[in-house]
Structure 1
């Protein structure tokens, strides 16, 4: 029997939101155990700092700029630069990983968040046999408690919790599967995206923990520079510098418990040894906002978070388990990204590769088998938009330990050595001109090759009226 594939895709989970990645505030015993039973990736990346583009890259095996989905759907914001056009759904012409696996004999199921377009670009139209709760929305329509208001998820009893319910649905599919065929389950939880609505019973635990750690008496949110997008002019970026939000912590622990339930189901069904479990997130944690309640976590020591081109926006938790291939407790430090999942799943399924489709991905199976390199020179990002979280249009490239960020507003270049400075605190561009030139050339050539759209100046831009204490250079 070919290998079953379980992709667990979490929404807005930060790189340090799990205990196995260094969190001292959140309890995640099931995911910690998954890491111990498989491989933990220290340098895994989402292909974009926001959700829809990363999801498009997972489904297509292509960078978001190549597939034409570069912004969350339907985002729109302008500032010094105009917005650039992008598809408001995963184009039907893309031969998705679900379709490829389905054509290879797999049962294909989607449970949870889709956010890749509405009626014309549903999971069903992209090759999934079953779609439960996958809509064009990027967050739960009515929040995390039933009634949900979702056309393809019947309401449960009043007060039923969405993360629990989606887990129930995933378990039901596994238990009712055709045992003569392998399955691909895309379990894409809406958690831990806003609104921050935890289930009852856990919040008090984390309030007490915050008090025990002295965090309840600290102001862990700091005020920064003004926003760059026009609709938030006059407001400043707020940043959380410590993990201490009890409600968010409760959502994380509930998510962990539900993933534990799915793993128990695999074990009870005798599927552990023949199922690739891959866990990851669509972007970094939500660590910046214009509202105090909109910054539930911190990605420290990484800089910034969702919506930003810095590490906090794109470096994500990722782990994989496949007994007999992946050494338990192994750690992989090779940079990998979302586009790699498509060819990885094909190879794990013993399906023929489709290099014209997954042209920006590399199979991770060599890493699973203990290799220490991949046949790839660099990883690229392109986010030519303003983010609601404060991030501004930018592109980036990472090769080896070096990362270059190009800021599109002023074409400023920043250079960081991530081996020595994973928090991107020291810009080395002024002292390493040769590396800057080399990486900028690499990034520019890639942008031309994939026909990446670069935002143009906004002729109607009106700078915000400066408040006392605002440095004009900040705006």
Structure 2
């Protein structure tokens, strides 16, 4: 049919070109921030950190107030986004590089620190999984990643072998390479990154990754593309420009802020947002995001570009400098409480998503895969995205049926968290802590901070959620923590 049309006259050809331009598949720009807490941006309640570009994005799109990462640490959540599966389905349940139980078991001192032996896990995204990048590439999309990957140590598991045409900065490391002996300067060039050429000395990584993303979009503005802008920010090491640090030093002094610290279990937890370097990093992240959003508008592709903004786990509020606070949420990165898994999420898609809208329906990171396919009118792959469900109806201001969401983290987090599984169904959330075989039940509608354990007051709801959680774990062949061998 196309060959016949091409032999027509010039005016007819011009019409065909115009039609093809109008019919161009939508682009997808997926912005994933590392370790950004639910309350770390202005539209989600922060008054110390300044994020005008993210605020503008929220005013132009839909803000999700109950969006969840599939895990309280990074690699499993990132694997869930790429695969559309729960991490437990692939047994990718801990951050890639965490010690396996065999290594823990060798040190007898660990019996005191780890009352149970944590579960084993697979430390790479299996190549048999058809990633969202591979699915879109098959559909004719040009695919690109700028930034963090952290889904396998060996090169064969890196982005260019998982569906990405261009890889700018994605390899096995989960944070910028700060190694003074080798002159690698973390967030500042030289980066020591095998997938990102060094820029001028002192170049700041977020701005470089934004520039790489903008160059890719400019080169592909007339073709459908998938740009995965996966920032290393705001993960440690804490580094930012002296100009922004000084800005927040003055702001902290003006507001009379001090570092307020409490307790979460046996570890300290930050109770307020006052860290000046972290604040500078958040604003720098916002500036980089703004550069990408501005480029989309400059290229005239804004109406035909689906933009997703998300984080891979909760903010770092315990240990490792505890630079941020997730209040009113409890806990943070590495914890099964809301502070570890509830994320800031915004979706902008002009002519589909109502500007300034808010959605309170719970969603999870596994949902992105089928949602993107659904939004682009591409066939779903039910055998692949088994843990996700398309939330396109929510983007179109329609309702979705309630469904339970699940988590399984049978490990000890570096941040003080312990092995646990959880389920949220409606407003109810049940956590099973394996070390003491203990359950906690919370009504998140009335108690977003998870202060009141209602297990004893609501035995019927507790038993219902127990059965849901146990049935799910069984269906997923979940590996559980074990007692030590004597």
Q: TM-score, normalised by structure 1?
A: 0.92
- Residue 22 of structure 1: how far off its partner (Å): 0.6
What are the within-5 Å matches in structure 2 for residues 81-160 of structure 1? 81-118=116-153, 119-142=155-178, 143-160=186-203
**Residue among 23, 26, 29 paired with 1:3:** 26
1:68 maps to which residue?
Answer: 91
In 2, Cα distance between the equivalents of 1:459 and 1:15?
40
In 2, Cα distance between the equivalents of 1:382 and 1:371?
30
Cα deviations across residues 332-357 of structure 1 (Å, max 9, x unaligned)? 00000100000011112211000110
What are the within-5 Å matches in structure 2 for residues 387-426 of structure 1? 387-426=413-452
- Structure ID, larger Rg: 2
- Residue 178 of structure 1: how far off its partner (Å): 5.9
In 1, Cα distance between the equivalents of 2:38 and 2:428?
19
In 2, Cα distance between the equivalents of 1:10 and 1:458?
37
In 2, Cα distance between the equivalents of 1:61 and 1:225?
33
2:383 maps to which residue?
Answer: 356
What are the within-5 Å matches in structure 2 for residues 293-442 of structure 1? 294-372=321-399, 374-442=400-468
Q: Check the 8 A contact 2:118/2:419 in 1, yes or no.
A: no
Q: Check the 8 A contact 1:59/1:97 in 2, yes or no.
A: yes
Q: Which SS does the other structure have where 1:244 is aligned? A: coil
- Residue 223 of structure 1: how far off its partner (Å): 4.8
In 2, Cα distance between the equivalents of 1:57 and 1:457?
29
- Residue 120 of structure 1: how far off its partner (Å): 2.0
Cα deviations across residues 278-309 of structure 1 (Å, max 9, x unaligned)? 000000000001x5xx2000000000000000
- Structure 1 vs Structure 2 CA RMSD: 1.1
Q: Which SS does the other structure have where 2:296 is aligned? A: helix
1:221 maps to which residue?
Answer: 261
Q: Which SS does the other structure have where 1:186 is aligned? A: strand
Q: Check the 8 A contact 2:62/2:353 in 1, yes or no.
A: yes
In 1, Cα distance between the equivalents of 2:60 and 2:78?
26
- Residue 221 of structure 1: how far off its partner (Å): 2.3
Q: Check the 8 A contact 1:15/1:21 in 2, yes or no.
A: yes
In 1, Cα distance between the equivalents of 2:212 and 2:484?
47
Q: Check the 8 A contact 2:221/2:299 in 1, yes or no.
A: no
Q: Check the 8 A contact 1:362/1:375 in 2, yes or no.
A: no
In 1, Cα distance between the equivalents of 2:484 and 2:275?
38
Q: Check the 8 A contact 2:41/2:49 in 1, yes or no.
A: yes
Cα deviations across residues 54-82 of structure 1 (Å, max 9, x unaligned)? 00000000000001110001112661111
Q: Which SS does the other structure have where 2:35 is aligned? A: coil
Q: Which SS does the other structure have where 1:215 is aligned? A: coil
The answer as to 2:329 corresponding to 1:288 is no
Q: Does 30-39 or 135-144 show the bigger shift?
A: 135-144
- Residue 224 of structure 1: how far off its partner (Å): 5.2
In 2, Cα distance between the equivalents of 1:92 and 1:199?
39
In 2, Cα distance between the equivalents of 1:411 and 1:326?
44
1:229 maps to which residue?
Answer: none
In 2, Cα distance between the equivalents of 1:48 and 1:420?
24
Q: Check the 8 A contact 1:362/1:376 in 2, yes or no.
A: no
Gap regions ≥5 residues in structure 1? 227-236, 461-475
What are the within-5 Å matches in structure 2 for residues 432-471 of structure 1? 432-459=458-485
Q: Which SS does the other structure have where 1:413 is aligned? A: strand
Q: TM-score, normalised by structure 2?
A: 0.90
- Residue 411 of structure 1: how far off its partner (Å): 1.4
1:189 maps to which residue?
Answer: 231
- Residue 378 of structure 1: how far off its partner (Å): 0.4
